[in-house]
């Protein structure tokens, strides 16, 4: 659909972005990516296995010419680690984009927003297009924007929890205060959650677990594709106000 | 010489990063290399001289979305 958007001069065709973790194999990852219609795929940065070098490469299945590869700093708990992974990712990849994660707590996987802010500032100065994974906190979102983030990626709920958008009101406020695009990252459990995020006016949604761990990941990828399109169209169409009482939609005139 | 490569001891005849990747049969296009915590530009792989005791990290992209545990 003719609904493209730009971030730092990069054009995005799809408002559904997907992660590549937790799939059974690369073949399934590639099929889900295809079914989702996503044009942004996030990947993690890890050591090459130098003992078993025959292991396959993700990029043999996810063509960087077809998809925008968005490296992430998943698993980083400190600012120095997040910076190190970001710099390595830039050298391994083809762009300056990084989905910046500085995790603050192992149990909830909530971001360490103080560390995130510091890392965002440093990487933005180094020319990175920083996409920080943040809490659903409007003040932090604004601070990240001021620190040079090109978008903000607030969580809908904890990573992998599938609880949906737990605080749609905060999300609304983030959308009001942030001038940069808002991309929901984490929390989506099923199609309606993705639709809710888009109906609120979010610019895109990033989904991994909800697709990868569904019983049929390929079908769920397709469901998410339509959910995001439906939510976006509903947002742009302007929904009716909620009313407490009924309001007839058929004319009174002509009744017997 | 003896290097530390991706966390393990590694004995090599390679004198440059380019030669080390060749020895390990790793395509340079898809990896990034760090030596003693410094990221090395891919264009410099061929002429970056390694020294005994250097700590080398070779990384690439793997599946991982919202999060993956370190060294899983």
Q: Among A190-194, A240-244, B64-68, whose mean pLDDT is lowest?
A: B64-68
Residue A217 reports pLDDT greater than 70: yes
pLDDT at B70 over 70: no
C-alpha closest to that of A41 among A57, A24, A58: A58
How far apart, in Å, are the Cα atoms of A70 and each of A49, A93, A134, A184, A255? 22, 9, 16, 15, 60
Which domains does chain A carry? Answer: 5-236 (3.20.20.70)
At residue A134, the pLDDT reads: 97
Residue B44 — φ and ψ, nearest 5°?
-95, 0
Quote the minimal CA–CA distance from A249 to chain B in Å. Answer: 45
Least confident range of A55-69, A70-84, A109-123: A55-69
Mean pLDDT of A244-255: 88
What are phi and psi for residue A202, nearest 5 degrees? -60, 150
Residue A184 has pLDDT above 70, yes or no: yes
For chain A positions 100-159, those within 8 Å of chain B (CB to CB) are: 101, 103, 109, 133, 159
Domains and CATH numbers, chain B: 2-60 (3.10.20.30)
Confidence (pLDDT) at B14: 94
Nearest by CB to B60, which of A48, A76, A159? A48
| Token pair belonging to A164 | 């949906």
The reply to whether A57 touches chain B by the CB within 8 Å rule is: yes
Higher pLDDT, A84 or A56: A84
Band of the pLDDT at A160, cuts 50, 70, 90?
A: confident
For chain A, report the end-to-end CA distance as a whole number of angstroms.
Answer: 46
Chain B contact for A80 (CB, 8 A cutoff): no
Location of structure tokens 């049929």: A216
> Which of A18, A5, A3, A145 is CA-nearest to residue A72?
A18
Please report the pLDDT score of residue A150 as a whole number: 97
pLDDT digits (tens, 9 = 90+) for A124-142: 999 999 999 999 999 999 9
pLDDT band at B44 (very low <50, low <70, confident <90, very high): very high
pTM metric for this prediction: 0.91
């Amino acid at each position: 659909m003719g609904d493209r958007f730009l971030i730092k001069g990069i054009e995005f065709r799809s408002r559904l972005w997907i992660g590549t973790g937790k799939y059974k194999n690369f073949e399934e990852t590639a099929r889900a990516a295809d079914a989702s219609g996503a044009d942004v795929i996030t990947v993690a940065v890890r050591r090459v296995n130098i003992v078993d070098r025959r292991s396959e490469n993700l990029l043999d299945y996810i063509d960087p010419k077809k998809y925008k590869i968005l490296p992430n700093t998943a698993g980083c708990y400190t600012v120095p680690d997040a910076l190190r992974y970001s710099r390595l990712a830039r050298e391994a990849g083809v762009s300056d984009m990084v989905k910046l994660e500085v995790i603050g707590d192992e149990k909830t996987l909530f971001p360490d927003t103080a560390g995130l802010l510091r890392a965002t500032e440093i990487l933005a100065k180094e020319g990175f297009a920083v996409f920080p994974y943040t809490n659903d906190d409007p003040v932090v979102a604004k601070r990240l924007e001021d620190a040079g983030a090109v978008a903000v990626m607030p969580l809908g709920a904890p990573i992998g929890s599938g609880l949906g958008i737990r605080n749609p009101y905060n999300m609304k406020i983030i959308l009001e205060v942030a001038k940069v695009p808002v991309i929901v990252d984490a929390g989506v459990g099923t199609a309606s959650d993705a639709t809710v995020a888009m109906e609120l006016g979010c610019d895109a949604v990033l989904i991994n677990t909800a697709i990868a761990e569904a019983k049929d990941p390929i079908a769920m990828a397709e469901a998410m594709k339509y959910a995001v399109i439906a939510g976006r169209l509903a947002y742009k169409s302007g929904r009716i106000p909620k009313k407490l009482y009924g309001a007839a939609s058929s004319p009174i005139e002509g009744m017997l | 010489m003896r290097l530390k490569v991706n966390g393990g001891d590694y004995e090599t005849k390679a004198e440059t990063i380019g030669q080390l990747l060749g020895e390990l049969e790793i395509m340079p296009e898809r990896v990034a290399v760090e030596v003693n915590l410094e990221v090395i530009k891919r264009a410099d792989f061929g002429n970056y001289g390694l020294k005994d005791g250097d700590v080398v990290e070779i990384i690439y992209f793997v599946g991982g979305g919202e999060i993956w545990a370190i060294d899983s």
